């Protein structure tokens, strides 16, 4: 996938603040986030694979930082 395109998508997602969550406060699945942000129909399957991996990493980082803040 074009790295510039991936960076632009990540910036777009980050521009919306925290990742969307379900009613229990858990980040949505990467697949659901593709739909949430309107990306699923705009990206090829290969691009979706890369974006989902990035969204998963972002969710993991957000969860980690939340735990770190609570422990400090």
pLDDT digits (tens, 9 = 90+) for 19-65: 999 999 999 999 999 999 999 999 999 999 999 999 999 999 999 99
Give the other-Cβ count within 10 Å of 68's Cβ.
9
d(CA 10, CA 28): 16
pLDDT, residue 9, reads: 98
Q: CA angle at residue 59 from 57 to 63, to 5 degrees?
A: 115
On whether residue 72 sits in a domain, the answer given is no
pLDDT, residue 61, reads: 97
pLDDT, residue 19, reads: 97
pLDDT, residue 72, reads: 77
66: tokens are: 């939340």
Print the domain residue range for 32. Answer: 27-66
Number of domains making up the chain? 1
13 CB-near residues (< 8 Å, 6+ apart): 19, 33, 37, 55, 58
On whether residue 22 sits in a domain, the answer given is no
On whether residue 57 sits in a domain, the answer given is yes
């Amino acid at each position: 996938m074009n790295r510039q395109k991936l960076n632009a998508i990540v910036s777009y997602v980050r521009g919306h603040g925290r990742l969307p969550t379900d009613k229990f406060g858990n980040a949505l699945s990467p697949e659901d986030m593709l739909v949430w942000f309107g990306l699923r129909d705009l990206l090829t399957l290969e691009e979706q694979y890369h974006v989902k991996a990035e969204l998963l990493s972002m969710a993991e980082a957000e969860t980690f930082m939340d735990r770190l803040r609570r422990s400090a």
